Amino acid sequence: MLEVLDLSKRYGDLVAIDRLTFAVEPGEVVGFLGANGAGKTTTLRILSCFMPASSGKAFVAGFDVFKQSMEVRRSIGYLPEAVPLYGELRVDEYLHFRAKIKGVARAGRKAEIARVLGRCKLEDRAKQLVGTLSRGFRQRVGLADALIGPPKILLLDEPTSGLDPTQRLEVRALLKELKQDHTVLLSTHILSEAEASCSRSIILHQGKLVPDSEIAKVRGQKVYEISFAGPADAVREALAGLEGVAAVRELETVREDIEETFVKSIARVAVVPKEASDPRPALLELFNAKRSEGWALLELRRRIPTLEEIFSATTAGTPGGGA
């Protein structure tokens, strides 16, 4: 449904994206992850035919992005990050205008607008001027616009940025519904969002794609999450020095500096082991040895890395953030 081959974009000496190759199959919702400036927006702008690439090929719904621009644009629904809309139009007028230029036949236009208004829960706002809408509703109008057609592929650039938590949940729920009818490439730097909405993720780092093999490798590594009581800094340092431990990442420090009870703090950390090693025996041994100094292991849990940890490992070093 979407195929990108060796795609690069350069601005003079600056390489915005460097030989990206990936594919999205029909019906997939794929997260397109990367820090700000990683090249996500540039890639989406190329795929939506707004700007050309410096080299490489891209196919959307079977059409060549660089040679069949109109066909590609008819196949996609694109939501740019800033959600630019014409503020002087009412919501239904705006969608009517967009339906017209997207080639929705006159006979079915009203029904199509009613459909997207319903899908994005905008019926009550249909007569409101776009310029007077809150950020959350503007985002919904942008999504409704992207859904007009309906297009085979949705390219969504940070669809929940700037939204409050409730609005974010609503958009996530909507994205889940969209899975049924569309192929979605969802760009975001909010990893929990990708984790909640996407079937898989593509990670972009400084314009380059993190290979799937590297993501799989990190995903295969286990993370040991422990809660402990004791002097947090000293414990973390000791944990990091254990054999078989690649990194220790602080997750939470609950209490600090309670001198009377000898407990310096209660903290939670993620211990990332070196490849194929199990640090649990060493961990237990450490806390047993330091029991007299007030170190106590309260909880030990093994889990798979979160997307955030995978992201941070593949873009910085190790799961857990390389702390």
In whole angstroms, how close is the CB of 20 to another protein at the nearest point? 18
Q: What are phi and psi of 142, to 5 degrees?
A: -60, -40
Alpha-carbon span 88 to 117, nearest angstrom: 18
Q: For 85, phi and psi rounded to 5 degrees? A: -135, 160
Smallest distance, Å, CB 206 to another protein? 19
Q: What does the chain come to in residues?
A: 323
Draw the binding track, 11-50, toward another protein (x: CB under 8 A; -: no contact).
x---------------------------------x--xxx
| Closer Cβ to another protein, 32 or 224, answer by number | 32
Distance CA 133, CA 113 (A): 18
Interface region with another protein, contact rule CB under 8 A, candidates 22-30, 83-91, 199-207, 227-235: 83-91
Report the C-alpha gap between 309 and 131 in whole angstroms.
39
The only residue of 85, 143, 191, 263 in contact with another protein, by rule CB under 8 A:
85
Reduced to 3 states (helix: H, G, I; strand: E, B; else coil), residue 255 is: strand
Helix axes 106-119, 135-147, angle to 10 degrees: 140
**In this complex, which beta carbon is closest to another protein, that of residue 187 or of residue 312?**
187
In whole angstroms, the minimum distance from the beta carbon of 142 to another protein comes to 8
Q: Which of 18, 92, 112, 145 binds another protein (CB under 8 A)?
A: 145
Q: Which amino acid is present at 179?
A: K
Cβ distance to another protein smaller for residue 58 or 266 = 58
DSSP state for residue 283 in the 8-state scheme: H
Candidates 88, 124, 256, 293; binder of another protein (CB under 8 A) is: 88
Q: Report 51-80 residues binding another protein (CB under 8 A).
A: 51-52, 70, 73-74, 76, 78, 80
DSSP class of 306: P
CA 170, 195, 153, 4: dihedral to nearest 10 degrees? 160
Q: Least distance to another protein from the beta carbon of 170, Å?
A: 22
- Of 37, 86, 173, 255, the residue at the interface with another protein (CB under 8 A) is 86
Question: CA–CA separation, 31 vs 195, rounded Å?
Answer: 8
Lay out the site mask for another protein across 296-315 (x = CB under 8 A, - = otherwise): --------------------
- Through-space distance between the first and last CA atoms of the chain, rounded to whole angstroms: 39
Torsion angles phi and psi, residue 131, rounded to 5: -65, -20
| Interacting residue with another protein among 82, 169, 173, 234 (CB under 8 A) | 82
Q: How many residues bind another protein (CB under 8 A)?
A: 26
Q: Report the alpha-carbon distance of residue 169 to residue 176 in Å, rounded.
A: 11
Q: In the window 95-114, what residues touch another protein (CB under 8 A)?
A: 97-98, 100-103
Token pair of 277, please?
């090693």
Q: How far is the CB of 16 from another protein (least distance, A)?
A: 10
Q: Site residues (CB under 8 A) for another protein?
A: 11, 45, 48-52, 70, 73-74, 76, 78, 80, 82, 84-86, 88-89, 97-98, 100-103, 145
